[in-house]
Amino acid sequence: MSKRDYYEVLGVERGASEADIKKAYRRVAMKHHPDRNPDNKESEDKFKEANEAFEVLSDKEKRARYDQFGHSGVEGQTSHGQADFSDIFGDIFGDIFGGGRGGARSHVRQGADLRYSMELNLEDAVQGKTVQIRVPTTVTCKTCDGSGAKRGTTPVDCSTCGGHGQVRMQQGFFSVQQTCPRCKGAGKQIKDPCGTCHGRGNVEETKTLSVKVPAGVNTGDRIRLTGEGQAGVHGGPSGDLYVEIAVRPHKIFQRDGSNLYCEIPISLTDAALGGELEVPTLDGRVKLKIPAETQTGKLFRLRGKGVTPIRGGGPGDLLCRVIVETPVNLTKRQKELLEEFAEIHDSEGDRQSPKKSSWFDGVKKFVDELRA
């Protein structure tokens, strides 16, 4: 083994702090570790040299003797590079393998979030409503206050990990920490379980909640109820409840963002002569004036009769599409009148049916082009 100066081996000054020495050793040891440099004699020697240097410089008494007398002051007091420095690497790998040197992971954990699907009709979604819901969930056990232990007793340290929640596993040079298989990382065991929750710390319960649904919600929106989810583990905070909105299809209206759409059937005479209709809205009925000669498919806009968006902005509109309805179940007299009307109408030619006339002109042109 080379007798180079230990400070030189680690690459630090003589006045280096303990933290600096530890950091320097990590760097050198990781660089020359045998697992990283298989069958490399030079790296193996440097690794052992770094171990020996750290063994001396990390010990206050040995370091003082080395500073005063050099190598002769610590001769016979080192393990020549074979010491167990696994704690150094445990600081590094502990975070990776779910542990560390800070003791057990807390067995107090937040409860899981819950989801509840709420169906609403369009009126309630647009106008808002307070709805009572019943939610199956878990709540903190009142008998043991969430500890899981029988009243008058407390959980004890785990016999496997000694209360740390982690167990150390030696793998060659490396020593890594893993979650304790007995206590699952809690660090505690319950010797006398609570008779109500049987050691779980919480019990199942169905609770009734009032959900205030704001005006303007739509399918896919979520309402968050803080703390109304599953109870926490061993006294931890409860999770949240997310209420997901689903709006049922409506018999009259269809919603598109902040606008509402509907179809209104009108009679042949109203379409030809004009008239006035009562149109339903979510706020009540309003009058809609139908001008003479209205064609089927005509869209009428009633401003401000749509939905006020939940995220701000003015209300949308109600758009009404009129559908001219062909009369059915005609009486003899009605048929006679229509036949008379048809005769008069045909005599007027294209003037009273401009769309029909232009359509037939287009058809004739198309056919003529095919024949050409």
Say how many residues make up the chain.
372
Comma-separated ranges of CATH 1.10.287.110 domains in the chain = 6-83
pLDDT of res. 297? 92
Comma-separated ranges of CATH 2.60.260.20 domains in the chain = 254-325
> Whose structure tokens read 């007798």?
3
Residues of the chain with pLDDT under 50: 1, 83-87, 89-105
Please give the CATH number for the structural domain made up of 114-247: 2.10.230.10
The DSSP 8-state label assigned to residue 193 in this structure reads B
Taking the C-alpha atoms of residue 359 and residue 370, their distance in angstroms, rounded to an integer, is: 17
pLDDT of res. 172? 55
254 phi/psi in degrees, rounded to 5: -120, 140
**DSSP calls for 84-139:** --HHHHHHHHTTTTT--SS-PPPS-BPPPPEEEEEEE-HHHHHH-EEEEEEEEEEE
pLDDT of res. 79? 57
Structure pTM?
Answer: 0.56
pLDDT of res. 251? 93
Distances (CA, A) of 174 to 78, 92, 103: 20, 11, 19
**Letter for the amino acid at 326?**
T
pLDDT of res. 360? 63
The superfamily in CATH containing domain 254-325 is Urease metallochaperone UreE, N-terminal domain (2.60.260.20)
The superfamily in CATH containing domain 6-83 is DnaJ domain (1.10.287.110)
Residue 330: alpha-carbon gap to chain centroid: 61
